[in-house]
Structure 1
């Protein structure tokens, strides 16, 4: 078994098509097919279901994918550990939730890119579950998310604390909530905080409307459609066409901790060290 074969296998598992895989890796298609057949012969099992519209992993293929991703990640990590020096370089794959990406991260990313131009920085936005899956599968070097997150394989660093507020283009108090529409997202952690508080206070919005993005919610609040909940840093960073009213949610529901998470077993190279160090300054 060669590392090149595993790389082809992982890419094919992602692309699910030999033609696309050949294009991505700049190989001829026959070479892709031959390498996969070589692996299947070596492991004495089919790794893919062959279908007219593409290829999908068999149960044994999914099992191999987990190991292959770990092996390739370890090879990359070993290379970085041996050639790493004090000047950051290489690639750095960062994940974040949508709120942090919209409010706190832009300046950090700009400053980091200016200070360390030899680092190829990429950003992926997702939910906590998606980000954690990507970290465990070696698809991200680290990610910002709402804490706490406790896992024996993870290292967490507290970055900053966010204050949650209700906001609306018209006056907003607990008494106004029952006459307004709550604008939110499915599986929103801020919404969970809000619903816990509203249940305690026995107040409920007139109706709930769900959106896929925070930007849509901000624009609809601006248009007067309803109210929402978000960190005050996000609301302050958005340009509204009209004055916006705030209501400070009482403790213990009003504050959330944003943390940075990475794998405990990974080599923390100079690029990631510098990034975490600069991220910690976001609380200043």
Structure 2
């Protein structure tokens, strides 16, 4: 029998799911913007109601108990149903609700502006929030339920728990200062390499590429801003790898030069990512439709 006198709230189930997905009370607190004490309290209240532990605490690790594993799919189903209830309207067919987006810096600056403008024009009753973050972190936010959709720019995402739709192919380009004396990235050994942050998919791809060529990366700079990286290259501080769409103007104006690669021009993919168990509300579906309409009109190329 469930415990008496304890009222379970939806947020306690949301906390349970987030702790399971992130395998951490601390990460769940960060994702949900609760204190860790609140996260612990939510779980304790659920355990008191169910009269059984949901997690085994093994030092710093946590593992679901057998009951916790049995409960998890029912919680997923409950939260999907709750999402549907939230978007019920009073008998009309107007598009309303919330759209919580996450996007990489490049996608936000060079792709999303016209799409969001058109979406807001069509569906003014939808509240839009947008978070910029590295692609890896955005996928973590999807798993935590912190955002509904993520627009990422990286190699093809392979995650069995995510639904992934490719929006466009986006070439990458190696760039150096306009006066850099070399023509090929394979000649760049000893040059300063300018990287994005450690959690950026582009950084990991660039480092792996250079390591495969045996190019020393001890001489390096690191910036979290793509704009800071571009200006550093313009100033002749080093070589970087960035999305071609973000540097077209600088190349036309001969403020930077592109370096060829023996393996040809690398590609990333602009992708829309959401959890496989995510119920897409009409507001979400209409946003996806706007995105892919822009591809057909040439905006995603």
Give TM-score scaled by structure 2 length: 0.67
Partner of 1:207: 219
Q: Distance in 2 between matches of 1:263 and 1:85?
A: 28
Q: Alpha-carbon deviation of 1:200?
A: 4.7
Contact 1:183–1:226, Cα closer than 8 Å, also in 2: yes
**Separation in 1 of the partners of 2:50 and 2:124?**
43
| Structure 1 residue 15 corresponds to structure 2 residue 21 | no
Q: Counterpart of 1:232?
A: 244
Contact 2:166 2:270 in 1 (8 A): yes
Match of 2:300 in 1: 283
Matched, 1:272 2:284: yes
Contact 2:80 2:279 in 1 (8 A): no
The SS at the match of 2:272 is strand
Alpha-carbon spacing, 1:148–1:241, altered in 2? closer, same or farther (3 Å): closer
Q: Per-residue deviation at 1:120?
A: 0.8
What residue number does 1:222 align with? 234
State whether residues 156 and 262 of structure 1, in contact with CA within 8 Å, keep that contact through their aligned partners in structure 2: yes
2:164 — aligned with what? 156
Paired residues in the alignment total 260
Measure how far apart 1:181 and its partner are: 0.9
C-alpha spacing 1:201/1:239, structure 2 compared with 1 (3 Å):
closer
Question: Deviation at 1:16?
Answer: 1.8
Counterparts in 2 of 1:8 and 1:221: CA distance versus 1, 3 Å: same
1:138 equivalent in alignment to 2:148 = no
Q: Return closer, same or farther for 1:118/1:127 CA change in 2, 3 Å cut-off.
A: same
Paired residue secondary structure (1:155) = strand
Offset of 1:82 from its aligned partner?
A: 4.2
**In the TM superposition, what are the counterparts of 1:243-262 in structure 2 within 5 Å?**
243-249=255-261, 251=263, 254-262=266-274
Deviations 1:21-61 (A, max 9, x none): 8xxxxxxxxxxx9x9997675355899xxxxxxxxxx989x
> So what's the TM-score if we normalise by structure 1?
0.71
Quote the RMSD (CA, aligned, Å): 4.1
Give the aligned partner of residue 173 of structure 1: 183
Following the alignment from structure 1 to structure 2, what is the Cα–Cα distance between the partners of residues 187 and 112? 30
Whether the 8 Å CA contact 1:10–1:68 is kept in 2: the answer is no
Cα distance change on mapping 1:39 and 1:178 into 2, 3 Å? closer
Q: Secondary structure at the match of 1:283?
A: coil
C-alpha distance in 1, partners of 2:88/2:287?
20
Question: Matched residues in 2 for 1:240 and 1:260: separation?
Answer: 30
Which runs of 5 or more residues in structure 1 are unaligned? 22-32, 48-57
> Partners of 2:103 and 2:167 in 1: how far apart?
12
| 1:72, distance to aligned residue in structure 2 (A) | 7.1
Query: How far apart in 1 are the matches of 2:96 and 2:266?
Result: 39
Moved more, 200-209 or 260-269: 200-209
- Conservation of the 8 A alpha-carbon contact between 2:174 and 2:242: yes
Cα distance in structure 2, aligned partners of 1:214 and 1:106: 17
Classify 1:201/1:46 alpha carbon distance in 2 versus 1 (closer, same or farther; 3 Å). Answer: closer
1:184 to 195, 200, 203: 195
Q: Select between 202-211 and 85-94 the one with higher mean Cα deviation.
A: 202-211
By how many angstroms is 1:141 displaced? 1.1
Q: Which moved more, 1:274-283 or 1:116-125?
A: 274-283
List alignment gaps of at least 5 residues for structure 2.
1-5, 16-27, 55-61
